[in-house]
A and B are shown apart, each in its own frame.
Chain A
Amino acid sequence: MAQNLTLNIDGKAHSITVDDPKMPLLYALRDELGFSNPRFGCGLGQCGACTVHVDGQAVRSCTIAVSLVANRKITTLAGLGTPEKPHPLQTAWIAEQVNQCGYCINGWIMTGAELLARNPHPTEEEVRDALSDLICRCGTHNAAVKAVMRAAEKA
């Protein structure tokens, strides 16, 4: 049954009609609304490539139903920072030249940003722990840790 929903994404309200209220948020973002930064990696909540913030919490958008996040505050990578006004993690990611293919980057930055929001000066162990349930196939793990530590030092 089609349903009308309002999604608050990166500070703007978007109205969509969904055929299936159980549709994962990821498909609303990518296909319906053109927010392409959350990426499809597994559809199972196992890799983190689709991560967004919902009311400040890192959430895997491939497994959360769109109807559950209507009217909540959704932030994507593009909403986290821009080239003109970058989030400290984005600046650090560039400074450390972290990525290879970059397909996973969204999940790592969004998860790292959630950590820094609740713990602005984490230890290296806390950073590794916060990033421990993410997958990166290119092997950028240590570089990502360095980038989060760098951003934390600047904070």
Chain B
Amino acid sequence: MLELELNQLSRRAFLTTAGALVVAIASPAEFLSAATPDSAAAAGVRPGKLSSYISIERDGSVVAYYGKIDGGQGLETSVAQLVADEIDVPWERVRVVLGDTGQCVNMGGSTAGNGLRQGGIILRQTAAEARRLLIQMAGDKLGIAPADLTVTDGVVHSVSDPAKRISYAELIGGRPLDAPVEFHGEAQQLTVKVQAPLKKPEQFKVIGKSYPRRDMPGKVFGTLQQVADVKLPNMAHARMVRPPVAGAVPVTVDEKSIADIPGTQVVWIKDFLGVVAEREWNAVRAAKQLKVTWSESKANFPGHEKLFDHIRNAPVVARSGDRNVRAVGASQERTNGSAEDAFKSAAVVLEGEYEYPTMSHASMGPACAVADVRGDSATVYTSTQKPFDCQLGIAELLDLPPEKVRAIWMFGTGGYARDAQGDATADAAILSRQLKRPVRVQYMRHESLAWDPKGTASVSRNRVGLDAQGNVVAYENITKSFSMEDCNTRERHPQDTLAGMALGHPLTWRAAYGTPGNAYQFENAHWGWELIAPLMDRSSPLRTTHIRDPFGPPLMFGSEAFIDEIAVHLKTDPIQFRLKYIKRDREHDLFAAAAKQYGWDTRPSPRNNQQGNIAVGRGFAYRTLGGTFIALIAEVRVHRDTGVIEIPRVVVAHDCGLIVNPETIKHVVDRQIIWQTSRTMHEEVQFDDKMVHSVDWLTYPVLKMPGVPRSVEVVTINRPDQPTSGAAEMACGPLPAALSNAVFDATGVRLRRVPFTPERVKAALARGPERVVKAAL
């Protein structure tokens, strides 16, 4: 096995053309045309060059180079709207190239719902700048002052004499826009500064209209090329062989055990083990049939049943506010006044704890990637959310300079943050280098669930001190958990992938956590976090990372359910209670919009007079993050006999600043609510002391049609005077608390652990109401 024999595999000739993208795929038309705009901005992408953002094709159409991706929220369409309005061409004449490191400036990939807030605004600004320069060029050609020029549908013309005109195509079609752009930062911190002003809302023709999603027909008719569909000449199919328990490594591998399956080959390098075959099904069979003896492994995990005790009891290795902790992102603690002192003066102290479980990304499609490594360069076809970091990670893994690696993002399964796509890409790269031919890696269902990096389990501890009049005088919210980044969400280094760790790169842990996004103006308050050590120091099926809205549901389930508990104690309506502690007009408008849509009657929880088997209740939760404001009302029908929770209605009031595409926003929020319903009602990774046992859709149940909220009503508030913020994940955060609050409203019983399975609901109902009041200190 290994290198010598692998090199002897028969190889058919590659199609090659110097330096160009070489692909031969099943139905390549769309993909290849996307790869090669004739204005060829690809020649030397730099963040300081206008041509790296916007170019004009020979026919006068516009190409926008978007250094992010679309995870299914329709960004291609919305970005085209921003560009079309600023550069004054019809929307249909703007093409968007997404996530190709060979053609786009690094805008950080997909992260934090900032597709429009950051990447979109950059292209909007550079489109405006391109228009300004094109008017200048036209002015020189026509001998007219730029002040007398305007643009209609890609044609610059005189305002006073429209017959004096010249088109974008005539000015520069097919040639790069040769102008500098002032830029600051990089990746998701990249910003640009241009001379051209942005258009004002009253000048919009395209922004604010519901253009249909461009990716939809290709998906509906099956003509859209996805990463799983890539076929390269001489491409081999691979499957990885994973250990049966965490920490085990291959000791012996019996190649003869697959000798009866045609065209198969084993690749075993250190702890990295895979099989390849000429035909895909033979790779599947070989991976299953291969006889491997594995090393012993110790018990590494507490088991999912005892996980929350483990979290409670484990020593804290890092906490918010520690100066020596290299915390990241939204990880800083937040404090107002001095909560600790203020608790001493409280008349009453209430406490509440909540638990959020380990979750898998559980993507619809198991990860898939294709790599083509040739000596001193590599091309990877990937569905990772961060192709630019993937490029760096693959370069380091293969010991190549980054500029010799091209990561081409393609549509694929929704991954919901850092799922296993980056792992599959690294596996494919190692296999392709070893076999010296293109390799396609497709993960299996069990691999996708058991070995993707996981969303962290956590325990949320909440305390409030009230004075004799019921005012909040002290507040504390602490989440105790694992770091969210055993595995960096940007797979920028080998240790951030399974392949890298199998090849000997140790897990590189860093403290990363956050505080729940809300904005209650408590005078003395502390929001913080405490982290415990990872369960393993190597390739673990429980290594942690981000799942969509990482600082949302796990943190806000506790914080927003506890706000409800305070209101219950004070016998106050939960909206009225919150209104006492929020200040901004946008928040008041938002709460009013949600209450109006739902038909909210002001009263405290629980609801009175609930006889019979079915108890009905409503729950409220609120969240703000990065300029987006969300108020959410969930209605439940709790079946006391079975423990089943029906969700007839969810109302969402949603303010994300200027709305670019109204229908798309509504759809994105509607789908998100159903996504988070699945997580709240069903999802929890099950494991014992050695291994994850959630390996398919029976052992990792997810929402199906019967449990779907029957009516999701999204009320959007458009704020043309405010920047567009984000909408791709922010509505997830408040849902678990809204549902828990609704169940309390219906039954007087508080659900403290996600998911809200029928067994847990029945157990909570049998237990009955709790006493949460603690006497004053």
Contacts and interface: CB of A to CB of B under 8 A. Distances in A.
B440 to A, nearest CB: 9
B281 A81 contact: no
Contacts of A135: 364, 697, 702, 704
Interface stretch (B133-141, B189-197, B211-219): B211-219
Interface in A79-135: 81-83, 86, 90, 93-94, 97-106, 109, 128-129, 131-135
Interface in B498-513: none
Given A47-B697, A100-B414, A132-B705, A19 B261 contact: yes
B222 A76 contact: yes
Interface residues of B, number: 67
Interface string A31-48: 110101101111110110
B262 A101 contact: no
A49 B442 CA distance: 15
A109 B220 contact: yes
Contact of A97 (B261, B667, B697, B708): B667
Contacts of B416: 137
A87 B74 CA distance: 23
B280 interface: yes
B71 interface: yes
Given A101-B413, A102-B72, A132-B704, A138 B213 contact: no
Interface string B653-689: 0000000000110011011111101100000000000
B285 interface: yes
Given A78-B221, A97-B667, A101-B414, A19 B279 contact: yes
A67 interface: no
Contacts of B414: 100-101, 103, 137-138
Q: How many residues of A sit at the interface, in one of the four size bands?
A: 35 or more
A135 B130 CA distance: 45
Nearest to A147: B220
B288 to A, nearest CB: 11
Contacts of B546: none
B412 interface: yes
B683 to A, nearest CB: 11
Interface in B180-235: 212-213, 215-217, 219-224, 226, 228-229, 231
Nearest to B663: A97
A104 B279 CA distance: 24
A73 interface: no
Contacts of A128: 705-706
A94 B72 contact: no
B43 to A, nearest CB: 32
Given A31-B281, A82-B221, A99-B72, A43 B364 contact: no
Contacts of B226: 36, 103
Contacts of B675: 137-139
18 contacts: A24-B281, A31-B237, A31-B279, A32-B279, A40-B228, A42-B696, A78-B223, A97-B664, A101-B412, A101-B413, A102-B216, A109-B220, A128-B706, A137-B362, A137-B414, A137-B678, A139-B677, A142-B709
Given A90-B221, A101-B72, A145-B705, 6 more contacts: A19-B279, A20-B281, A34-B27, A40-B366, A128-B706, A137-B363
List the 6 closest A-B pairs by CB distance, nearest first: A139-B674, A100-B72, A101-B414, A102-B219, A101-B72, A37-B222
Interface of A: 19-20, 23-24, 27, 30-32, 34, 36-37, 39-44, 46-47, 49, 76-78, 81-83, 86, 90, 93-94, 97-106, 109, 128-129, 131-143, 145
